[in-house]
Amino acid sequence: MITDGAPNDERWRQDLEKLLDPSEEISPLLVFYGVGKVPPNLVAEVSTVPGMTRERVNLVTTDGNIAIDVTTTFNKVIGSIVGSVRDGENNFQS
């Protein structure tokens, strides 16, 4: 999940809790990225939603070029995803 601001829906927390509810038939693994002008309290609040952890809630801040920072962050995410679908012999799992 990526955002560049505050939620515009008052029910966002309840909806996120339902989405992450492990008793539901589909319950995704979600990582949150706040980019740019995200209120710091939102990052803290998202990390307290059941099913989330502080390690999966990130704030991408920048002192320079936000495009470079976002690109670097998502290259790490893509590398992690690719690595998780490889087997012990470095082949992709089917």
Residue ranges per domain, the chain?
A: 2-61, 64-94
59 vs 42: CA distance, rounded Å:
10
Identify the CA nearest to 52 among candidates 69, 83, 30.
30
The half-sphere exposure of 3 on its side-chain side, counting CA atoms within 13 A, is 19
pTM score of the predicted model? 0.62
Q: Give 10-50 pLDDT, tens digit per residue.
A: 899 999 888 888 888 877 778 888 887 788 788 888 888 88
Q: Give 42-72 pLDDT, tens digit per residue.
A: 888 888 888 887 777 877 766 667 777 778 7
